[in-house]
């Protein structure tokens, strides 16, 4: 009887721990309203980081919940908008969702003046991270995730298991 109780208790604990780690991702209040119709705009000020901006969007494309329609040439038509600012901040890039109701009509991602010192892979990781915010994911520091908060790095230019779990739960 005692062995059965111990085994049952261990089984319950393992199930709880699995549930906790499977839900490690966090959500922001805002997200793009139609993830199967994402478009993006890259402002001319982005310059040499154009490739990194594209990578940031397409890094999320393998998820069946997300479909990237492609680039728009006018800012007002895009779901995700990339810009550059020469203002020097403590951040490499930031995402700000412009909210109307409970979803975001569009998301602005700004590369800041100090984005330049990063390696090419760190630039790509940063843009994929910021697009993750556009999709409604918050920072995640408990398990490996592209959504790790700075100044830490995942050292991957693509979302990983926890990120995909967050997208599946979000959409």
pLDDT given at position 59: 96
Q: How many CA atoms lie within 13 A of 97 on its CB side?
A: 22
Model pLDDT for residues 44-103, shown as the tens digit of each residue: 988 888 999 999 999 999 999 999 999 999 988 888 998 888 876 666 777 665 434 344
Binned at pLDDT 50, 70 and 90, residue 167 comes out as very high
Strand locations in 21-145 (E): 38-42, 68-71, 80-84, 93-100, 103-111
pTM attached to this predicted model: 0.79
> Quick one: which of 151, 163, 157, 160 has its CA closest to 52?
157
Q: Which of 37-41, 110-114, 120-124, 126-130 shows the lowest per-residue confidence on average (mean pLDDT)?
A: 110-114
Query: Mean pLDDT of all residues in the chain?
Result: 78
Q: Which of 82, 85, 86 is nearest to 96 (CA)?
A: 82
- List beta partners, residue 108: 81, 96
């Amino acid at each position: 009887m005692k062995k059965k109780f111990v085994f049952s208790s261990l089984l319950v604990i393992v199930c709880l721990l699995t549930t906790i780690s499977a839900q490690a991702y966090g959500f922001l209040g805002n997200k793009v309203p139609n993830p199967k119709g994402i478009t993006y705009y890259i402002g001319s000020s982005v310059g040499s980081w154009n490739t990194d901006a594209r990578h940031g969007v397409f890094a999320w494309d393998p998820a069946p919940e997300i479909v990237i329609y492609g680039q728009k040439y006018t800012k007002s038509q895009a779901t995700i908008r990339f810009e550059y600012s020469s203002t020097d901040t403590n951040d490499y890039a930031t995402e700000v969702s412009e909210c109307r109701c409970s979803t975001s009509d569009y998301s602005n991602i700004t590369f800041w003046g100090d984005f330049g010192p990063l390696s090419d892979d760190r630039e790509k990781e940063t843009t994929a991270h910021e697009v993750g915010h556009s999709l409604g994911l918050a920072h995640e520091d408990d398990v490996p995730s592209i959504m790790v908060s700075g100044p830490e790095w995942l050292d991957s230019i693509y979302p990983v298991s926890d990120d995909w779990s967050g997208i599946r739960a979000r959409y």
